Structure 1
Amino acid sequence: MNNAYIEEIRNKVEIALEKDPMRFKHSIGVADTAACLAMRYNSDMEKAYITGLLHDCAKCVDDDLKIKECREANLSVSQTELESPYLLHSKLGALYARTKYGIDDPEICSAIEFHTTGKPNMSLLEKIVFIADYIEPYRNKAWDVDIIRGLAFEDINEAVYFCLKDTLEYLESKNKTIDEMTNKAYAFYASNRVED
């Protein structure tokens, strides 16, 4: 890995997340986990690490500013995102990756954009970052996170399915709005499961 380049991004992300030091620790955890998953699946470890570092780079932006900046950049803002503006950190993070961090790799930007909701038929990098965000060492809220951690290194598609299933069950139990893309992603991975 290009250590100087990685360190530069790491330092910028730490500044961007200084209002929430645990968010920065989470980002390091996601970067490390994404790199491990990339090694397991013969994917580009540097890209996975950088994507993990940057996935929440817009998380500490105030909700009103998230909406404003997305609209100024002509990014679509759904009714669900207006009701739950925290979801916009993914789209805004992809924009920031390009404009503030100099990332011109569309695969990295797409993995950042869909790391929260998922999407149907994700690329390997998108799956890696989506799962890493869910299973990194500081995440312990999901009741079956340890099962998913093991599964992530055995069958990445099955791990994506369970992450989506858990997310939907959690959101439904809390009566929270569910993003349509999450429903579409779940339907895709549910219909493509190969059960024993």
Structure 2
Amino acid sequence: MWKEEQIKHYIKEHLNEARFVHSLGVMETSEKLALHYNENSKKARIAGLCHDCAKNLSRDELISIAKENGEELSQIYINAPQLLHGLVGAHISRVVFGIEDEDILNSIRYHTTGRKGMSLLEKIIYISDYIEPSRNFKGINELRRLTYIDLDKVLLKSFDDTITYTVSRGSLLHIDTIEARNYLLYKK
């Protein structure tokens, strides 16, 4: 497996400056949350760093890499290929970086959509992507505070916000996001 510094170098070369800074912010936020929730902080750092490694690939590159690696692409992915960067990022993390830990790979794969029955690491990466220091939107400071109190509550809020935003833009909702939200509601 590549060392963290090697992965940082790859990410810096393959992402624009803002996305690189974002990735470092997700890595740091993930580590803090992992320590708070007794998750493996090294795994959280690596997943946070790698989560957007495919973000700057073109629509055609994302679709091509996904298909080449046996992904069955739903109409949602064909019509909203930006969602594919998680799936393709997991592939790059496995093939290029040599990451074999399935929890890390799933955290990268589902960091955009979430999914039903997310692991603690998956939740940490999803939320870290949402609240890392370069993010700035109304209510972000309260969400950051609540993240250290009730991770599932903040996760549910983020799903609600994502669904509202996606619907307001007339875009397609990924079924994984709906199932993830419903799963959290059933757990209450």
Instruction: Mark yes or no: TM-score above 0.5.
Output: yes
Aligned counterpart, 2:182: 187
- Please tell me the root mean square deviation across aligned C-alpha atoms, in Å: 1.1
> What pairs with 1:28-177 in structure 2 (closer than 5 Å)?
28-141=24-137, 143-177=138-172
DSSP-derived class of the 2:3 partner: helix
Residues of 2 paired with 1:144 and 1:172: CA distance? 20
AA at the equivalent of 2:165? Y
Aligned counterpart, 2:13: 15
Residues of 2 paired with 1:113 and 1:71: CA distance? 15
For residues 155-183 of structure 1, give each alpha carbon's deviation from its aligned partner in whole angstroms, at most 9, with x where no partner exists. Answer: 11111111111111111111111111111
The gaps in structure 2 that reach 5 residues or longer are none
Contact persistence 1:27–1:55 (CA under 8 A):
yes
Residues of 2 paired with 1:175 and 1:188: CA distance? 24
Aligned counterpart, 2:20: 24
Q: Paired residues, what number?
A: 187
Residues of 2 paired with 1:129 and 1:110: CA distance? 10
Residues of 2 paired with 1:148 and 1:189: CA distance? 17
Contact persistence 1:119–1:182 (CA under 8 A):
yes
- What percent of counterpart residues are identical? 37
AA at the equivalent of 2:32? C
Deviation, structure 1 residue 15: 1.1
AA at the equivalent of 2:174? D
For residues 129-180 of structure 1, give each alpha carbon's deviation from its aligned partner in whole angstroms, at most 9, with x where no partner exists. Answer: 0000000011113x32222211111111111111111111111111111111
Contact persistence 1:148–1:163 (CA under 8 A):
no
Residues 171-180 or 83-92, more deviating: 171-180
Residues of 1 paired with 2:63 and 2:125: CA distance? 24
Deviation, structure 1 residue 192: 2.0
Deviation, structure 1 residue 190: 2.1
For residues 45-82 of structure 1, give each alpha carbon's deviation from its aligned partner in whole angstroms, at most 9, with x where no partner exists. Answer: 11100100000000011111110111111112110111
TM normalised by structure 1 equals 0.92
The gaps in structure 1 that reach 5 residues or longer are none
Residues of 2 paired with 1:144 and 1:179: CA distance? 24
